[in-house]
Structure 1
Amino acid sequence: MENVKDSAGRYESPLRIRQAKSTRAAVLNAARDLFIAKGYGATTVEQIASRAGVSKPTVFSAAGNKQTLLAVLRDVAMAGDDEEIAVGARPAAQQVLAEPNQYRATELLAGLITAIAGRYAEIDQVLRGAVGSGDEALRELWETAEQQRHTGARMWADSLAGKGPLRQGIDTHTAADILWLYMSADVYHRLVRDRGWSPQQFQSWLTETLTLSLLPPAPPGVNPSH
C-alpha cells in the first residue's frame, strides 16, 4: 500500500491518516456533546480530552483550541461532514440551483434549510450563548456566520428570480432578507426543539411560507411543483 504526502510534503501511511481522522472525529464529537450539555464557557479542553479518550495536547493537534473547535463544529454541522466542500457545492444545493421550476426549487430549498438547521440548531445556540462572554474571536465568528447566511440567502434569491418572476413588490434584495430570516437555525430551534414540531412539519410550513412570501400565485388548475 502506497504512502501519501501530507500538506508539509511528508509521507504518511493510509493507516496513520485513518487514525488521525478517527482521533479528530472523537475530539469533535466530545466537544459537541460537552458544549451542548454544559455550554461553551463551562467546558474545558481537559474535559474534552477526557471524554474523547485522548491527551490535552492531542486535542490541540487534532482540532485546535476551544474557539477553533466551535468554529469547526459549526462548519461540520452546516455541511454535514468534515470534508472541505462548501455547502453550495454539495449535491443538495446543486439540485436546488439546477431545478428549473421555481416552485419545486423552493420546496427543495426548504428541505435543504430544514436539514441544515436540524444539524446546526444546537451548535447555533452554543455560539449565541458564547458570544456574550466578551471574547472578540467568538464575536467575529458570530458576525461571520450571520454574513455567510446572508450571502447564501442572496444566492438563493438570485437563483429563484432567474427561474421566474418573484411575487409582486418583492425584489431580490428583499427576497434575500426574507430568506436570511427563515434560514436562521433559531427559527428551527424555537419551533422544533421548543414547541415540539416534527422536522417534517417544519419543512412543510417552511415550504408554504417561502412560497407565499417570495413567489407569485400559481395559475388556477396548475400544480406549481410540476
Structure 2
Amino acid sequence: MIGRRAARLFETVRRAADDSEEADELWSTLQRNRHAGATMVIEHARTLGEVRAQAAADVLWMYNDPALYVALVLDRGWDETDFRRWLAAAMRAALLPG
C-alpha cells in the first residue's frame, strides 16, 4: 500500500515546511500533484458512469491524504486491511451513486 511507503515521508515534509522555504515549496508541489492525480481519477471515473460528489477531485484528494494513514494505522493502531476496507467504503459512499 502506498500509504505505508509515503505517510512518514509526507509527514516529515509537512513539518519541515514551517521552517524551510525549500520544504514549503516541496510540500506545495506534493499537494498539487496529489490533487492532479485525484482529478485524473475522477475524470476517468466520469467516463465510466456517474460520480456523485460535486467537488469529487477534492473529496478524493482528501481521502488519499497520507495523514489519514498516519493517524489511523500508525497512531491509532488500525490493521492495514481494516484501513483499506474503511477507506474504500468511505470513498464509494462519498463519490458514487447509492
Question: What is the TM-score normalised by the length of structure 1?
Answer: 0.42
For the pair 1:141 / 2:26, whether they are aligned, the reply is yes
**Equivalent of residue 183 in structure 1, options 61, 64, 69:** 64
Partner of 1:156: 41
What letter matches 1:181 in structure 2? M
Aligned to 1:196: 77
Identical amino acids, percent of aligned pairs:
37
Q: CA deviation at 1:138?
A: 1.0
Q: How does 1:58-207 map to 2 (within 5 A)?
A: 115-133=1-19, 135-167=20-52, 170-171=53-54, 174-207=55-88
- For 1:153 and 1:131, the matched residues in 2 are separated by 23
Q: CA RMSD in A?
A: 0.9
How many residue pairs match? The answer is 98
Instruction: Map Cα deviations across residues 96-155 of structure 1 (whole Å, 9 max, x no partner).
Output: xxxxxxxxxxxxxxxxxxx1111111111111121121x211110000000000000101
Q: Which residues of structure 1 form unaligned runs of 5+?
A: 1-114, 218-226
Q: Return the offset for 1:200.
A: 0.5
Give yes or no for contact 2:73–2:83 (8 Å, CA) kept in 1.
yes
Q: Distance in 1 between matches of 2:44 and 2:80?
A: 25
Segments of 4+ moved more than 2 angstroms: none
Query: Counting helix residues as a fraction of each chain, which structure ranks higher?
Result: 2
**Larger RCO of the pair (alpha carbons < 8 Å, separation 6+):** 2
Distance 1:214 1:129 in 2: 30
Q: CA offsets, 1:30-62, max 9 Å, x none?
A: xxxxxxxxxxxxxxxxxxxxxxxxxxxxxxxxx
Deviation at 1:198, TM superposition (A): 1.1
Q: What amino acid sits opposite 1:161 in the alignment?
A: R
Normalising by the residue count of structure 2, what TM-score does the alignment of the two structures yield?
0.95
Name the larger-Rg structure. 1
2:77 counterpart of 1:208: no
CA distance in structure 2 between the partners assigned to 1:129 and 1:116 by the alignment: 20
